[in-house]
Each structure stands twice: as structure tokens, then as C-alpha cells.
Structure 1
Amino acid sequence: MAAHEDVLAICVNWNGGNVLRPAVQALLASRYQPVHLVVVDNASTDDSLEDLQPGIEIVRLKQNLGYGAAINHVWREVQAGKRPRPAYYLLLNNDLFADPDMLTQMISFASGKEPGIYGPKILQWHHPDRLDMAWGNLRWHHVLADFEGKESRDGPQWNQLREVDVLQGSVLLMDAAVPESVGLFDESFFMYHEELDFLYRARRQGCRAYYCPFAKALHWGAHGTQSQPLQKVFWTRRNAVYFMRKHRPGTARWPYFLLTLGGSILYNLLTLKGERAKAIISGAKAGFRMPVREGRI
């Protein structure tokens, strides 16, 4: 690249506690510039915004409408001409710590290609010799995707650049043309699987997603729901059902999906995890009851 192109980084925060500031500092230490960082706060009730460096742009939303809504808020401002259009968007969680060379590596690969979506190798913050996950394969069962390398020890088998179905949503780089073509995030998901929905819609329009292991980041992991693990169970099952209804209504994949969903409930009952089974059932019911968002978003 002869000159660096602008990156608009959007960090979504909700009660980020003591992880938001070091995550922001890690991004600001990027060797790739210019990067304009916007922290979109989903009505946090903690003090996570107070210690941010002066000059960081903060957008404070009045209520928590979810991850996708926070991203969409900024995208709509760009589309309306209220913000300059960047060359790339970087979407990241408030507990994602970017390596100083992460952006340089991914943009070097992306430059000159058709608009795409890119994800780095993501390692665990607490165990940096282990992957958080590498990539995912869409399988259409009750958790929608199989994730390769989840919590595996890092090694050469995870160092191959590849086109994939699913990238981990804690950090995504994409050309600005991607949301202009694909549309916005579906805010019905609220949290979990909204990036899977976006990636699936992008893939159907011919947009490719790449796992880029030469770029690296650390992920704290599940910071927003770690104190309430049953919430994650509820939302992932709710959104898996919603995803199926949205993208595979009336197909032969439903029997397999329902079989694996029922198997998950039965397993948790037999292993005396009744509260988890209840969360799965409640989430599935909610997924069947909610209206499906159709058409371009």
C-alpha cells in the first residue's frame, strides 16, 4: 500500500468494568494509522467510561438495544453523511486487545481484493498459548456452528490463511462497501449470533470471509455475561431458533436442528443441570415467538 487508508473502529461497551480502558489503549497503540475510535456505550451503569483517555469519542446511547444496534448507530451516521466514510470498519468488543500489528497485517492482505470480511487469530487473555477459537463452520444444529480450535493449544495447524463460513464476532475488519451492500446488523438478535447472521447474508451476496492467522489479538471472553451464564444459554438458543426461521424456513434441515435441540435439553436434565435445561427451553420458545425480520435491513 502506498498510503494508509482510514479505519473507523467501533468498540461496543456495556459495563466494561476494568477491561475497557486497556482494550482501548491496545487499539490506540496500533502501528497502523489513521484509526478513528468511537466507543458506543449501551447505557452502562458502571464507571467504565470514566477513565478513558481525553479525546476518545464516546457515543452514549440512552438504552441498551444490543450489540448490533450500537454498530448500526454509527453506520447510519456514515450513511446519512454525518461522518466521513472510511475505507474500513473495525468492529470490536470491549474486552478485545489488538496486537500492535493486527490492523497492518489484515489490511495488507485485504488491500486490492474485492470487499471482504477479515478476522485475526484470537488467543485467550488468561492463557495466551491457547486459542479462543479459530473459525466456524455452519452446521445448522442447535448451536448453529462448529467452532474449530476452540480452547485448543496454539500451533502450526492454526496458522493457515483460509476462507471460512464463520469468524468470531469479538473483532471483525471489513471494507466499508460491505455493509453498504449487505445492509445493517439485524437488531432482533440483541446479543449472540448477530455476526453469524451478518456473515451468512454477506456470503450469499458473494462477499468472502477470511481467517487471517498472521494477525493476532487477545480476548478476555464473555465479559458482559460471565456473572450470569444462563443468560448466554438463553440468548444463544433463542437466536439459533430465530436464525433458522429467518434463513431456513420449511427446509429439510429442521428435523436435525430440533433433534439436536431436544438432545441438548435431555442431556442437561439427565446430568442434573435443570436450570440450564430451563434456559434452553425458554430461549427456544422465545425464538419461535418473535417476528422474523425480512427484507433488506
Structure 2
Amino acid sequence: MPVKPCFAAVVVSHNSWLVIDKCLDALLGQTIAINRIILVDSGSDRVDYLDKYQNNPAITLIKEANIGFARANNLGIAALAYQFDYLLLINPDLFVPADFTISLQKSIENIGDFGLLTGKLIGFDLSNNCETKKLDSTGVFRKWYGRWYDRGQGQPDTGQYDRIEEIPAACGAMICLPKKVVEKCGGMVFNPVFFMYKEDIELGIRLGKQGRKLYYDPSITAWHCRGWQPDRKNIPRKLKIIAAVSEIRLYLLHPSVYLLWAWAKYLLVRFFNW
């Protein structure tokens, strides 16, 4: 009988009152229990929606100023003090099924050695409390000119991405990392130069350079009601600038001709609100 792995999770919240209960209820209701959950609030406008977790023995709540997604995740990881076999990085707007950790365990046994593991993310309509039946992410890939994108996003799920495969990067909403990989990262799983956006891609590039393999397994599923709008007209200009700056930082850290694309994108956003 295989030994059950020890899972720990970090969730970072920021004004997440519409989604955090559903996210945490799902994590707490796993068939194979998640041993520790660290909830880091990064500068929510109000934190009363988190009060119920203050004395929850299954959850450690850390309240911080708005230090950004990357730093907040690193803070939560540090609080775990490596007391896990596998680390789960979960966004507050991600909801997992009750057998999520069972699927993870089977995938881990099947794949063996890996640097990062993720699964099939399916869109979720929060207003109607139901899945969209369209894909949200099946791994993050790069176009020929340098733009990174979530593969399959907005497509109906017809089984077109139903095989285990290596990927260059994963959506940061759901990431599983082995303890040895986290230890190798030290205190910087996500690079703190990123306030938000592109920190997940940078992690993928960094692990790839270390010779680690990143895997997508479609048997691991979750629902994601992401805040980032696919229609650029609906995205606040401030967030578009943050994302564009993050892309420049990505290619400064990992030099590439794709830096030309990043600068072009920044100029389009900065002067034309593209």
C-alpha cells in the first residue's frame, strides 16, 4: 500500500471575499487531507471576511500589507518550514474537487520524478455558481514572437488536451512542487521582483534551466474563475501596465530576443492603452 504523501498548501488572498470560502472549503474537504494550509492576506481593503479562519486549527492566517503575489506566496512557504512532501500553490479563485489530492497522488506515482506538476483548469462562472464547460488553462506556452498564453483558454473541452505531457510553464493558480524543488529555491519560489503576473512563467523557465521537468496531467482537474479578463477592453490600464512591466522583467532575468516584444507591448499599453 503506497504511503500517503504529506501535502501542504499556500493560498494568497487580496480582496477575495467572494471566493475564499469556496476555495478553502474545498481544500479542507479532501479525501487525502492537506496537512497544513497557510492563508496569507496581502493587503485586502478589509480583512473581516478572514476573521472566521483566525482560530481554525487547520489554517494558519498571516495578515500582511499589500506586498504582492510573489512575496506573499514566499512568506506562506517560509511559514511551512519544509514540513511537507509536496507543496500546493493555490489561488483563492480556484476550486478543487473532493478527490483532488487522490488525483495528485496517482499522478505523482505515475510520473515519478518531476520539477512541477499541474492539471486541467476549467472555467468557472461565479455569478451562476457553475463551470463554463470551457478550458481555462492546460499549461502556459509561448508564441513565436514571445507572448505567453494559457493553452486552450476559452475552448470547449473536447479531450484535445487529454494526455500527460511536458510543458514550458504552468498557470500559477494551481501548482504542485516537490519538497526538494522548494528547498532548491530557498526562500524564493516566486521571484520577488514580480509584484504580480509572470512570476509563474519565470518559475517555469528557471526550473527548466535547472533540468527539471514540468508536467501537465489532465486527470488533475480544478475550476478557475480568474479575475484577469480575456477581453483587453475590460482590463484596467493599471493592471495592463503591471503585466507589461512584468514581461520586461521576465526577459531581463532570462535574456532573449523576445525582449523586443515585451518593450513593444509596454509602449502600446503605456501610450495607447492597448
Query: Normalising by the residue count of structure 1, what TM-score does the alignment of the two structures yield?
Result: 0.79
- Structure 1: stretches of 5+ with no match in the other structure: 278-297
Percent identity over the alignment is 21
Query: Counterpart in 2 of 1:167?
Result: 170
AA aligned to 1:92 is I
Shift of 1:25: 0.3
Q: Is 1:7 aligned to 2:7, yes or no?
A: yes
Closer, same or farther: CA 54–166 of 1 in aligned 2, 3 Å: same
Give 2:251's aligned residue.
Answer: 244
Q: Is the contact between residue 117 and residue 209 of structure 1 (CA under 8 Å) also seen in structure 2? A: yes
User: Residue 61 and residue 96 in structure 1: after superposition, are their counterparts in 2 closer, same or farther (change >3 A)?
Assistant: same
Distance 2:132 2:253 in 1: 37
* Post-superposition offset of 1:66: 1.1
Structure 2 counterparts to residues 148-167 of structure 1, below 5 A: 148-167=151-170
Structure 2 counterpart of 1:30, one-letter code: Q
Larger radius of gyration: 1
1:282 is aligned to none
Contact 2:89 2:173 in 1 (8 A): yes
Amino acid at match of 1:204: K
- CA 1:141–1:242 in structure 2 vs 1: closer, same or farther (change >3 Å)? farther
Indicate the residue corresponding to 2:106 in structure 1.
108
Partner residue of 2:120?
Answer: 121
Q: How many residue pairs are counted as aligned between the two chains?
A: 261
CA distance in structure 2 between the partners assigned to 1:198 and 1:134 by the alignment: 17
| Cα separation, 1, equivalents of 2:96 and 2:167 | 21
Q: Tell me, what secondary structure is at the counterpart of 1:49? A: helix
Q: Output the CA distance in 1 between the equivalents of 2:166 and 2:238.
A: 31
Q: TM-score, normalised by structure 2?
A: 0.85
2:94 is aligned to: 96
Q: Distance in 2 between matches of 1:197 and 1:255?
A: 17
Q: For residues 35-74 of structure 1, what are the structure 2 equivalents within 5 Å?
A: 35-46=35-46, 47-52=48-53, 54-74=56-76
Q: CA 1:27 to 1:118, structure 2 compared with 1: closer, same or farther past 3 Å?
A: same
Change (3 A) 1:240 1:104: same
Kindly provide the CA deviation profile for residues 202-240 of structure 1, in whole angstroms up to 9, marking residues without a partner as x: 11101111111111101111179x996323311110100
- Structure 2: segments with no counterpart, 5+ residues: 126-130
**Residue aligning to 2:128:** none
CA 1:5/1:252 → structure 2, altered by over 3 Å: closer, same or farther? closer
Distance apart, 1:34 and its partner CA: 4.3
Measured against aligned partners, the alpha-carbon deviations of 1:149-192 in whole angstroms (never above 9, x if no partner) come to 01111111121111101111101111011121234121110111
CA distance, structure 2, for counterparts of residue 77 and residue 39 of structure 1 = 10
Per the TM alignment, residue 74 of structure 1 is displaced from its structure 2 partner at its CA by 2.9
What residue is the counterpart of 1:285 in the other structure? none
The alignment partner of 2:218 has SS state of strand
The match for 2:194 is: 189
Decide whether the 8 Å contact of 1:43 with 1:64 is kept in 2.
yes
Q: CA RMSD in A?
A: 2.7
